[in-house]
Structure 1
Amino acid sequence: MAPKITVHWLEDSRAQRILWLLEEVSLASSPSLVLPANRAFVLTQLGLDYEVKRYSRDPKTLLAPKELADVHPLGKSPVVTIVEDGKTLTLAESGAIVEFIVERYGEQLGVPASSSDIQARADYLYWLHWAEGSGMLPLMFSIIFAQLPKQGPWLAKPLLNAVAGGAMGQFVLPRLRENFGFVEKSLAGKDYFAGGKLTGADVMMSFIAEGLEASPLPNDKYPNIFRWYNSVLARSAYKKALEKGGKNDLGRFTR
């Protein structure tokens, strides 16, 4: 029996890349590629059965609704619930979700530990985790400092604007330039982040590219990143995922 997956999808969040991953798994699965319990055959014959449950942000605070806390105690998105063989699993954290789905249902989109190409394996693990580690931190700070003056008391706005502007100029923007410069060099001469093929690492890094697109950095300075990102946008699985979820507008956090 095919697994039943529910993606708890919050608008303008990391959840959209989970939909993309699920669409890629459905397209990539083949009866000739036998996954545990013949899952590849099941996915090919039936399609990956998943449901999207949508949530909207508070228009003023931009925070997730309280209903998400009923799914997972931290109330964040993405969260997936998976029903398989009569058992129900609730899993949060983008990286954990991507790793779980790739290993269990879509091994074609991973680089296994048994791979003879140790560089590909290392690259896969590195970028899979870099996206939510080193890559995400300065992006989150840019959102925090963009929102700080808006969310504070009216009388404090001049001070908060000065604090936020100073932090952005002295700390956040230099880190963003450093990070995206590193990614730009890493993609030189490459179509994908690991092993010369699409993997879960590319899925994880797609949100980082969205962050760059919405950042104050000049996008034309990062041609390799946008060459890769445009190839992602052109994929049929990505387009199908957009139909089921929706395009992120990360600019709403920094405008």
Structure 2
Amino acid sequence: LLPNTAASTRLSQVNDHLTQPNSTDSKMAAKITVHWLEDSRAQRILWLLEELGLDYEVKRYSRDPKTLLAPKELADVHPLGKSPVVTIVEDGKTLTLAESGAIVEFIVERYGSNLSIPASSSDMQARADYLYWLHWAEGSGMLPLMFSIVFAQLPKQGPWLAKPLLNGVSYGAMSQFVLPRLKENFRFIEQSLAGKDYFAGGKLTGADIMMSFIAEGLESSPLPNDKYPNIFRWYNSMLERTAYKKALEKGGKNDLGRFT
């Protein structure tokens, strides 16, 4: 006999519903470890977990004092040896997750939807803003910041005899390419935050958490901070959050100035 298609579909939907994680149950059962590298984007993952009230462990790693690179031990956790990396043990299964945006999106959707603007939201603009800034932080926003670090380190890490040449290359790249892009980005953020307390939907979301590192980058950049009052109004309000302060106690404040 052929199966009743409608009945089979309903049964499949019921089974799917039963296997979906219950946010409260998953929160209680999950064992989360954050592989935290000093002066890195890992700090905002601690902030996220504190906002969600999740229990977690922190495994700390220090940078090489000369090269400022991550230690080789991180490659034992994830092949690329970068941070943040999060391991989650739930129902006997272990998940290793890298990339800040992926970590934030996964954890928010699984354990704390109050920090998202769901796809089902009737506010299309809020949903779009949430996704945009969540991904902008590691895309368009991060690229010139990374270039600023690379070109700042180039003369310091290069051969001694090549330093005059590397200084010239660094100065040219910073003045002609990097700083104009940074100014463009921060001007865009400044305008976007005009009259707003948060990046999306009028409430704290994962987008704010992702964008916090960009604000740290501005704070340690050569750009005059007083030109960006909206950014620092928003950023200072984030610094005052109880969860942010708790995360600092468990991790530590980033010193991005050491890279410049």
Question: Fold-level match, TM-score > 0.5?
Answer: yes
- Give the structure 1 partner of residue 25 of structure 2: none
- State the distance in 1 between where 2:40 and 2:53 align: 25
Unaligned runs of 5+ in 1: 25-45
SS of the residue corresponding to residue 119 of structure 1 reads helix
Compute the displacement of 1:139 (Å): 0.3
- Partner of 1:49, secondary structure, is coil
What's the CA shift for 1:181? 0.1
Q: Which residue of 2 aligns with 1:154?
A: 160
Paired with 1:182 and 1:162, the residues of 2 have a C-alpha distance of 29
Q: Deviations over 1:41-80 (max 9, x none)?
A: xxxxx95220000000000000000000000000000000
Cα deviation 1:22-48 (Å, max 9, x = unaligned):
000xxxxxxxxxxxxxxxxxxxxx952
Which of residues 20, 34, 38 is equivalent to 2:47?
Answer: 20
CA offset digits 1:152-194 (Å, max 9, x no partner): 0001000000000000000000000000000000000000000
Check conservation: 1:11, 1:56, Cα contact below 8 A. Answer: yes
Q: CA deviation at 1:242?
A: 0.2
Query: Within 2, Cα distance between the matches of 1:47 and 1:247?
Result: 20
TM-score by length of 2: 0.89
Q: 1 CA distance for matches of 2:45 and 2:55?
A: 14
Q: CA RMSD in A?
A: 1.0
Deviation at 1:2, TM superposition (A): 2.1
**1:99 maps to which of 105, 117, 134:** 105
Q: Which residue of 2 aligns with 1:223?
A: 229
| Alpha-carbon separation, structure 2, partners of 1:191 and 1:136 | 22
Q: Is the Cα contact below 8 Å between 2:133 and 2:211 reproduced in 1?
A: yes
For 1:1-255, what aligned pairs fall within 5 Å after superposition?
A: 1-24=28-51, 48-254=54-260
> Secondary structure of 2:36's match?
strand
Measure the CA separation in 1 of the matches of 2:241 and 2:53. 18
CA distance in 1, matches of 2:53, 2:206: 19
* Rg comparison, structure with higher value: 2
Distance in 2, matches of 1:249 and 1:48, equals 26
Residues 121-178 of structure 1, C-alpha deviations (whole Å, 9 max, x = no match): 0000000000000000000000000000000000100000000000000000000000
C-alpha distance in 2 between matches for 1:68 and 1:219: 34
Deviation track 1:213-234 (CA, whole Å, cap 9, x = no partner) reads: 0111000000000000000000
Measured in 2, the distance between the counterparts of 1:60 and 1:128 equals: 32
Inter-partner Cα distance in structure 2 for 1:144 and 1:168 = 10
Identity over the aligned pairs, expressed in percent?
91
Alignment deviations for residues 66-116 of structure 1 (CA, whole Å, 9 cap, x no partner)? 000000000000000000111100000000000000000010000000000
What is the rounded CA distance, in whole Å, between the counterparts of 1:94 and 1:238 in structure 2?
17
Q: Aligned with 1:19: secondary structure?
A: helix
The runs of at least 4 consecutive aligned structure 1 residues that moved more than 3 Å come to none
CA contact (8 A) 1:111 1:199 kept: yes
Q: Provide structure 2 residue ranges, at least 5 long, that are not aligned to the other structure.
A: 1-27
CA contact (8 A) 1:4 1:82 kept: yes
**Contact 2:49/2:55 (8 A) holds in 1:** no
The residue aligned with 2:23 is: none
2: CA distance, partners of 1:110 / 1:101: 10
